[in-house]
Structure 1
């Protein structure tokens, strides 16, 4: 892992620590990571959802439930120099970074104790990160 990626991973962990330490609506039962493309980076937004259903095939059927909260304008930025050259790499980098947080992040238990965690670009496919999809 490059030094730049390590630093961004650490910064993402601090951002998630802060977001997940805040009070959340009681109706929040799951989480979804929205990804947005900008001219120079991928923006990461965390949202809580009131439901979670991975579907029969989590690789194709998952869709986040109704939002209970968003981090809105408080988004995290992954520069393209770290995320990769094109959207498939951006998605994989983002998935890897969030999976890493799920394993050992300070407040990762809040995510793991939920019904599920998903990720995806707002205008693209969505993927289940937790519980880990079974092959």
Structure 2
């Protein structure tokens, strides 16, 4: 249970810190006004990413406990679900702007949390290998 709490706290800290950094960058570059022209918000993108990453982290840690030999395959399946859910979330915002504002902001958020998912899976796989 300790790993669950540790990774959830890390996820929340990452999400809040990245959101504020992303917000400040958009304000500094002067592109924050584009959000008013779309149905998406930066908070919404981060909330979606934190939610799907929380789902992936919890299932990865549960798989580490229940089926440690299949953890790599389970993680690949979860990443596929993550990619499909992310596409479904963002598909209405694609190709709305000539400057690809939505696409670039979503990619930043998507890859940030993808790296966190990979970090958790890496730790889980290495912990499994160390116990053998």
Question: What interval of TM-score do these two structures reach, taking the shorter chain for normalisation?
Answer: 0.3 to 0.5
* TM-score of the aligned structures, taking structure 1 as reference length: 0.32
Larger radius of gyration: 2
Q: Comparing both structures, which one devotes a greater share of its residues to helix?
A: 2
Q: Comparing both structures, which one devotes a greater share of its residues to strand?
A: 1
* TM-score of the aligned structures, taking structure 2 as reference length: 0.32
